[in-house]
Amino acid sequence: MQGIMSRLKKYIKNACIVFVLLFICKGFLYRKLVNYTKIDTRENYAITNENLLQTVETAIKDKELAIDDIIKLSLEITTKQLHFEVAEASNNPNINFTTQKAHCVGYASLCNSIGNYILREKNLAEIYEFKHVVGTIEFLGYNVNDIIQNPFFKDHDYNEILNKETGEKQFIDASVYDYTWIKRMRSE
């Protein structure tokens, strides 16, 4: 009996170590295993919802923000305000902020609008731009829609942050961030 308990403790210890390592490396693993391929863009919405404006203004008030801070704030405000909805939802972030429901389009739209608003407020819009993009998702090189064949996976909305001076691009996915806290994606 003691031998079984010893092996069980060793198994649980090893499983915990593996779980912790996977959690720590989740972003790295996600970027290695999953790739987004950009196929289109969507229109940018200006923020007109007064409550949304107030939320963003409160978050940025009296703060010096670098681009990484702006990306983080955009993700955090978006994921705090929205709940994922598989059913049809608006693409307009001003409406999504009120209903608090969105699918990947609404998440990307709200994150995009917040990011661009902060860039303008912090006088960084000449250097950076958030873009709302649409793409496919590949897992280990295979298009997820070909594997699952569900209209939900046909395309996926996420954000591209462009440094206009260097051409460098960063990619974020607010709907993935909401559930995994993975901040950066890989995209072509």
Q: How far apart are the first and last CA of the chain?
A: 55
Q: Which domains does the chain have, with CATH numbers?
A: 35-180 (3.10.620)
- pLDDT at residue number 151: 65
What mean pLDDT is reported for the chain? 87
Closest CA to 130 of 96, 92, 100, 158: 158
Q: Each residue of 51-86: pLDDT tens digit? A: 999 999 999 999 999 999 999 999 999 999 998 887
Q: Write out the two tokens for 127.
A: 């250097």
Cα–Cα distances in Å, from 177 out to 16, 98, 144? 23, 20, 19
**pLDDT reading at 11 higher than 80:** no
Distinct helix (H) and strand (E) counts, the chain: 8, 7
Q: Please tell me the distance from the alpha carbon of residue 153 to that of residue 23, in angstroms, as a whole number.
A: 25
Q: What is the share, in percent, of the chain residues with pLDDT greater than 90?
A: 51
- pLDDT at residue number 32: 82
- pLDDT at residue number 91: 87
- pLDDT at residue number 22: 61
Strand 101-102 relative to strand 83-84, pairing: parallel
Q: Each residue of 139-176: pLDDT tens digit? A: 888 877 777 776 666 788 999 999 999 999 999 999 88
